[in-house]
């Protein structure tokens, strides 16, 4: 929240130096990786100073769209951003990254990049924020480090900032909802007394107050408990139908583009913490009394059910085998919307379940593997498929010890490794060149022989 205020301040019209910023969020796979951070930081400088596009163009002309998304994206993007930062024509600029602790993928790479580049150019100022984590502090601890501000050591100023924010939000509510003087005073006092110097708590409570009439405000604000953990515990026990929970559980969940996310990393942390007075058995165990492994297995099983019932050949009705990925427009409604999470994470949940379930994996790969690859291409993330199938191969070899399934997964991994490029460029090539140019002995080719083009009478052996 504080860094958002800094960004707003630096974006004032009279501020001379443009800025580029990125806000990490651990619960959103689109913005929780080091590669995503660099991708975000590249965009604004190039938009603000078009001459910098030459650094991007050099690599894009060779690699195309894969430059930003494939497994080598980090290497390419880090080189591009380094070249931009070293460009003699680069204008003065602020680079801002919020919540480094919520960069859950390749964080060490990002820390090393920041440490190496933060003092190279006098025209560039870096501002980063994070929770107190030793690995982050060590990764950024360089002799050239210019300034460090610990909120814990400046609690007095944080408290004053939260109080100022409360006054602003209450004034806003009073104007929008028509609070009288007594209501303004009662709401302000309760917020200041219970916020625990936490901006997010104030935001969540005021968000709820914005949905109720003025005459209810006094009772509603008093119903909110002190601090984030108590607030989350309160919301976890909220009874009601799914839509009621989604609409009234703003303290826990938010919906963006029809996908449910945790509202903040602290909400996820609360569910995974040890027992507290408000949740004596632990929040997670209260929600999932059967334990984590069975919860993961349940999600894995449901993911397979969703994908098995949804995935088919030519999900977007493209018809043409050579239809290029860059011309594909997501239909509305999207027939893949319900399967997106399952396509990305079904293998991760199987790994975390600690349960043997080779039968359902065998059935899915035997019947739906090519449809899954097509879907990953439509999602523009074939690299996730490679990572997932590699994890699955290791799991089966180490844990399940099923020879037949192990061979199937090995062949599935070879298939995606060999044909990733063409399927990325044209999703329906999963059923054409990918099958036709696989070895005759390929298990995947044999399983999906009926999907091969009927016009291909002479086929590679």
- Is residue 220 located within the same domain as residue 269? yes
Total residue count of the chain as it appears in this document: 461
Structure tokens at 325: 């990925």
Closest CA to 149 of 128, 133, 118, 165: 128
Query: Can you give the residue range of the structural domain that contains 96?
Result: 2-148
Residue 250 pLDDT? 52
Residue 300 pLDDT? 93
- DSSP lists the bridge partners of residue 95 as 20, 126
The mean pLDDT value for 187-202 works out to 87
> Which of 287, 313, 342 is where one domain is finished?
287
Residue 152 pLDDT? 59
- Is residue 8 located within the same domain as residue 144? yes
For residue 461, being part of any structural domain is answered with no
- Is residue 411 located within the same domain as residue 279? no
Q: When comparing pLDDT for 461 and 284, which is higher? A: 284
Structure tokens at 83: 């070249």
- Is residue 410 located within the same domain as residue 269? no
- Is residue 280 located within the same domain as residue 397? no
- Is residue 139 located within the same domain as residue 14? yes
Residue 316 pLDDT? 95
Residue 179 pLDDT? 92
Give the position of tokens 């150019």: 121
Residue 409 pLDDT? 94
The mean pLDDT value for 120-149 works out to 77
Among 230-239, 288-297, 377-386, where is mean pLDDT lowest?
A: 230-239
- DSSP lists the bridge partners of residue 94 as 19, 125
3-state DSSP call for residue 147?
Answer: coil
- DSSP string computed for 399-445: II--HHHHHHHHHHHHHHHHHHHHHHH-GGGGGTHHHHTS-TT-HHH
Q: What is the DSSP letter of 54?
A: H
Residue 143 pLDDT > 60: no
Residue 95 pLDDT > 80: yes
For residue 128, being part of any structural domain is answered with yes
Residue 189 pLDDT > 80: yes
CB distance 33 to 128 below 8 Å:
no
> Which of 287, 314, 336 is where one domain is finished?
287
For residue 458, being part of any structural domain is answered with no
Residue 3 pLDDT? 77
The answer to whether the bond into 277 is cis (omega within 30° of 0) is no
- Is residue 281 located within the same domain as residue 298? no
- Is residue 234 located within the same domain as residue 301? no
Query: Which pLDDT band holds residue 313 (cuts at 50, 70, 90)?
Result: very high
Structural domains in the chain (count): 3
For residue 112, being part of any structural domain is answered with yes
**Integer angstrom CA distances of residue 322 from 65, 217, 319:** 17, 59, 9
Residue 278 pLDDT? 58
- Is residue 342 located within the same domain as residue 369? yes
Rounded distance, CA 210 to CA 208, Å?
5
Q: For residue range 2-41, what is the model confidence (pLDDT) as tens digits? A: 777 788 878 766 655 688 899 998 888 888 999 999 999 9
Residue 461 pLDDT > 60: no
Question: What number of other Cβ atoms are within 10 A of residue 148's Cβ?
Answer: 9
For residue 202, being part of any structural domain is answered with yes
Among 158-162, 258-262, 381-385, where is mean pLDDT lowest?
A: 258-262
Query: Which pLDDT band holds residue 266 (cuts at 50, 70, 90)?
Result: confident
Residue 319 pLDDT > 60: yes
For residue 364, being part of any structural domain is answered with yes
- Is residue 281 located within the same domain as residue 337? no
Q: What percent of the chain has pLDDT over 90?
A: 39
For residue 456, being part of any structural domain is answered with no
The mean pLDDT value for 237-242 works out to 47
Residue 241 pLDDT? 41
CATH of the domain at 7: 3.40.50
Residue 150 pLDDT? 65
The mean pLDDT value for 189-194 works out to 90
- Is residue 173 located within the same domain as residue 229? yes
Rounded distance, CA 447 to CA 443, Å?
6
Residue 283 pLDDT > 90: no
- Is residue 350 located within the same domain as residue 429? yes
pTM of structure:
0.54
Rounded distance, CA 419 to CA 438, Å?
9
> Which of 148, 171, 195 is where one domain is finished?
148
Averaged confidence pLDDT in the chain: 83
Closest CA to 337 of 226, 257, 408: 257
CB burial string 263-298: b at 16+ within 10 A, e below = bbbbbbbbbeeeeeebbeeebbbeebeeeeeebbbe
Category of 196 on φ-ψ map: left (φ > 0), alpha (ψ -120 to 50) or beta: left
For residue 414, being part of any structural domain is answered with yes
């Amino acid at each position: 929240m504080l860094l958002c205020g800094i960004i707003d301040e630096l974006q004032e019209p009279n501020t001379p130096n443009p800025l580029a910023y990125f806000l990490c969020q651990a619960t959103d796979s689109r913005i929780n990786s080091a590669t995503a951070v660099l991708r975000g930081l590249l965009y604004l400088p190039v938009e603000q100073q078009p001459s910098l596009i030459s650094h991007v163009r050099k690599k894009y002309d060779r690699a195309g769209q894969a430059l930003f998304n494939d497994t080598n994206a980090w290497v390419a993007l880090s080189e591009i951003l380094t070249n931009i930062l070293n460009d003699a024509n680069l204008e003065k600029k602020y680079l801002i990254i919020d919540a480094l602790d919520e960069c859950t993928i390749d964080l060490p790479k990002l820390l090393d990049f920041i440490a190496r580049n933060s003092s190279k150019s006098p025209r560039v100022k870096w501002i980063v924020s994070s929770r107190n984590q030793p690995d982050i502090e060590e990764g950024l601890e360089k002799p050239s480090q210019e300034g460090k501000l610990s909120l814990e050591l400046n609690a007095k100023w944080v408290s004053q900032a939260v109080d100022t924010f409360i006054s602003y939000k209450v004034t806003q509510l009073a104007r929008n909802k028509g609070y009288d003087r007594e209501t303004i005073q009662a709401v302000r006092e309760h917020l200041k007394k219970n916020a625990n110097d936490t901006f997010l708590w104030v935001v969540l409570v005021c968000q709820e107050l914005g949905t109720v009439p003025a005459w209810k405000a006094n009772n509603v604000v008093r119903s909110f408990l002190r601090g984030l953990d108590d607030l989350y515990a309160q919301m976890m026990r909220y009874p009601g139908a799914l839509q009621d929970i989604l609409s009234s559980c703003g303290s826990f969940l938010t919906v963006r583009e029809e996908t449910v996310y945790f509202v903040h990393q602290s909400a996820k942390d609360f569910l995974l913490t040890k027992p507290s007075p408000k949740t004596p058995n632990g929040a997670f165990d209260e929600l999932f009394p059967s334990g984590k492994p069975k919860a993961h297995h349940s999600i894995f099983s449901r993911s397979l059910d969703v994908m098995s019932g949804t995935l088919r050949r030519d999900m977007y009705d493209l018809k043409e085998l050579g239809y290029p990925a860059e011309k594909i427009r997501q239909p509305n409604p999207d027939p893949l919307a319900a399967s997106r999470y399952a396509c990305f994470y079904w293998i991760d949940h199987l790994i975390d379940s600690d349960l043997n379930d080779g039968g359902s994996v065998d059935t899915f790969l035997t019947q739906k593997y090519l449809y899954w690859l097509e879907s990953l291409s439509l999602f523009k993330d074939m690299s996730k498929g490679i990572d997932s199938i590699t994890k699955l191969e290791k799991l089966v070899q180490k844990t399940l010890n099923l020879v037949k399934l192990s061979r199937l997964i090995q062949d599935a991994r070879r298939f995606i490794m060999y044909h990733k490029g063409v399927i990325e460029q044209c999703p329906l090539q999963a059923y054409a060149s990918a099958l036709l140019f696989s070895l005759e002995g390929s298990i995947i080719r044999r399983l999906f022989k009926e999907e091969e083009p009927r016009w291909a009478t002479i086929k590679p052996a």
